[in-house]
């Protein structure tokens, strides 16, 4: 609360299942009391995916083959073919875009795109988006598709290739039946989210930022450097912008109540959105 303005903060998981629905009474009441909803982006914006696609494809005459190693290129073409995407199509996309396209498959038991799509449609942010439209609540975008794409596009070539290789290796393990994780990890996260168990959720999901400890575990200096870049660009810099956006909502002369939904990771990271808001003098109370 500040000057007649109120903000409710909900941490989202972008892929979910029927098990977490319906939302608790506290969440429903907070949503009902809110005049508007603020989200990372409007998932139902018809122009959103197109703007992201425009940033995620090569427009300088080069292709994927010009930007990654031959080994990475061959792995990418092979995994794309496994999902019916021809080589001449996949090579138009930048590594971060391909990583984004396949990332959701890593949270499934089978690597099935239909299973991933269903989980995404059941995601917490999608549910809030649909309810906001149904009840006529304005949807504000904290970032938007284009801004998120620009963050990913700012990754170094080395980080992009590292992420692409990682997601391909994971999907190959899922398809071969060797992967331990996938939907089991997602189901555990959803159960912790439903219970409001912040401490365990944070323990399992916080990006590893004790980089000196990583080096002690024989993680290469180059990999640690890439993980630092990932943490800084995808988490820390965005946390700061999200906190500033919420601060502006609370200082607005409009005097309204806003239901803010961003990925749960932004509320539990090292120096998170909540930490920054507390530093600005706001008191934050968890509603279970």
Over residues 184-198, the pLDDT tens digits come to 778 888 999 998 888
Q: Domain-by-domain residue ranges, the chain? A: 6-279
Over the chain, what is the mean pLDDT? 91
The stretch 77-105 carries a mean pLDDT of 96
Return d(Cα 288, Cα 97) in angstroms, integer.
37
Which band of pLDDT confidence, cut at 50, 70 and 90, is reported for residue 217? low
Q: Which two tokens stand for residue 268?
A: 């539990």
**What pLDDT shows up at residue 233?**
96
**What pLDDT shows up at residue 207?**
46
Return d(Cα 214, Cα 232) in angstroms, integer.
16
Over residues 41-53, the pLDDT tens digits come to 999 998 998 999 9
Return d(Cα 123, Cα 138) in angstroms, integer.
19
- % the chain with pLDDT above 70: 94
Radius of gyration in angstroms for the set of CA atoms belonging to the chain, rounded to a whole number: 20
Over residues 93-117, the pLDDT tens digits come to 999 999 999 998 888 877 889 999 9
**What pLDDT shows up at residue 183?**
60
Over residues 7-16, the pLDDT tens digits come to 999 999 999 9
Closest Cα to residue 96, out of 165, 142, 146, 32?
165
**What pLDDT shows up at residue 206?**
62
Cα distances (angstroms) measured from residue 227 to each of 54, 97, 231, 266, 274:
26, 18, 6, 17, 22
Q: Are strands 36-39 and 139-141 parallel, antiparallel or unpaired?
A: parallel
Instruction: Specify whether the backbone of 218 is left (phi greater than 0), alpha (psi in -120 to 50) or beta.
Output: left
Instruction: Specify whether the backbone of 136 is left (phi greater than 0), alpha (psi in -120 to 50) or beta.
Output: left
């Amino acid at each position: 609360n500040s000057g007649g303005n109120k903000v409710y903060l909900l941490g989202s998981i972008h892929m979910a299942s029927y098990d977490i629905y319906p939302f608790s009474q506290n969440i429903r009441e907070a949503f009902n009391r809110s005049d508007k909803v603020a989200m990372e982006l409007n998932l139902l914006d018809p122009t959103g995916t197109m703007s992201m696609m425009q940033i995620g494809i090569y427009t300088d005459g080069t292709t994927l083959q010009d930007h990654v190693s031959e080994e990475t290129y061959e792995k990418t073409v092979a995994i794309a073919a496994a999902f019916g995407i021809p080589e001449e199509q996949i090579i138009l996309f930048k590594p971060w875009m391909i990583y984004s396209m396949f990332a959701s498959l890593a949270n499934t038991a089978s690597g099935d795109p239909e299973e991933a799509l269903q989980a995404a449609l059941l995601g917490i942010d999608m549910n809030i988006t649909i309810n906001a439209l149904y009840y006529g609540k304005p949807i504000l975008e904290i970032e938007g598709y284009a801004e998120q794409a620009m963050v990913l596009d700012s990754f170094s070539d080395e980080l992009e290739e590292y992420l692409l290789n990682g997601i391909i290796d994971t999907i190959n393990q899922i398809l071969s039946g060797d992967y331990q994780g996938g939907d089991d990890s997602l189901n555990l996260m959803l159960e912790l989210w439903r219970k409001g168990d912040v401490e365990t959720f944070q323990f399992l999901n916080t990006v590893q930022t004790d980089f000196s400890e990583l080096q002690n575990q024989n993680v290469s200096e180059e990999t640690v450097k890439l993980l630092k870049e990932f943490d800084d660009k995808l988490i820390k810099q965005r946390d700061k912008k999200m906190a500033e956006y919420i601060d502006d909502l609370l200082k607005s002369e409009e005097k309204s109540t806003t239901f803010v939904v961003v990925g749960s990771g932004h509320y539990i990271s090292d120096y998170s959105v909540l930490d920054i808001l507390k530093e600005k003098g706001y008191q934050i109370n968890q509603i279970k």
